[in-house]
Amino acid sequence: MAISYDDFTRIDIRVGTVIDAQPYPEARKPSYKLAVDFGAEIGIKRSSAQCTALYRPESLIGRQVAAVVNFPPKQIGKFMSEVLVLGFPGEKGEVVLVGPSHPVPNGGRLF
């Protein structure tokens, strides 16, 4: 199904820096609870991310990630996820996070 460019522009994908990453043992699938700083305009948002196969919490701190910031919040168990952190499946289905190859200002919009 093709979408128009206008459809694409309605999805607000921004870059932010992970400032906190904690295990989320209550989740059905192995996950972390993340706090991501998207800069002054958007602020700090929380997300649940199923990226435990390739990343440890301490390795996520300071890492820039891409996320959809204009979806409505979603209840993930007892945790309210405010943004959708983006990733691709690796060869074994493990999540590989999406982020810039060079540092960019937090809050920058994908275009």
Residue tagged 């405010």 (tokens): 82
Range with the poorest average pLDDT among 24-28, 39-43, 59-63, 95-99: 24-28
Query: Cβ of 16: how many Cβ atoms within 10 Å?
Result: 28
Average pLDDT over residues 66-83: 95
Domains, the chain, in order of start with CATH, read 8-97 (2.40.50.140)
Whole-number pLDDT of residue 93: 95
Residue tagged 């200002």 (tokens): 105
- The strand pairing partners of 37, in sequence order, are 17, 44
